Amino acid sequence: MIGKYDESLPRFSAGSNSIQHRMAINFYKAVCLAVSGRRGDAIQQFKKLQEMDPTFPGRTVFLSRVYVWTGNHAGAVEERAKAVELDGSPENARLLRDSFASEAGAPSCTIDAPGRWRIQRPGRIK
């Protein structure tokens, strides 16, 4: 399937009625849409996942990446902050949001690579 994302999309089917299976199918469909360049469709698919289960952290992490790829850095920060909250770190989520909003939008959090975030605090990086 490497490099054949568009070809694989029609093969996705529900096949099972379990919520876990539907979540997995819809998640990987969204990923394939995103990496094949259909970023708008991927965003809609990730939003569909949010309706199914708003506590699914994989959705927020990968949607954050898609937002970075589309240049929506505010959306990327918000989705990453949601993932950090779901991981049990509300203080770090607040730091991400505050950092992006501070200094007229010049974040002191940085995106090293898709999905790799650093929150810079005075004297340390976490």
Q: What is the pLDDT of residues 29-51, one digit of tens each?
A: 999 999 999 999 999 999 999 88
Reported as a single tens digit per residue, the pLDDT across 21-34 is 778 888 989 999 99
Looking at the structure, do residues 43 and 82 belong to the same domain, yes or no?
no
Question: What is the model's pTM?
Answer: 0.69
- Provide Rg for the chain, Cα atoms: 16
The secondary structure element, H or E, covering residue 113 is strand 109-113
Would residue 61 count as lying in a domain? no
Looking at the structure, do residues 46 and 82 belong to the same domain, yes or no?
no
Q: Residue 95 belongs to what domain range?
A: 76-126
Q: Above 70 in pLDDT, residue 99?
A: yes
SS3 for 119? Answer: strand
Looking at the structure, do residues 89 and 48 belong to the same domain, yes or no?
no
Concatenated DSSP letters for 17-34? --HHHHHHHHHHHHHHHH
Looking at the structure, do residues 80 and 49 belong to the same domain, yes or no?
no
Number of domains in the chain: 2
By the 8 A CB rule, do 52 and 23 touch?
yes
Looking at the structure, do residues 49 and 85 belong to the same domain, yes or no?
no
Would residue 71 count as lying in a domain? no
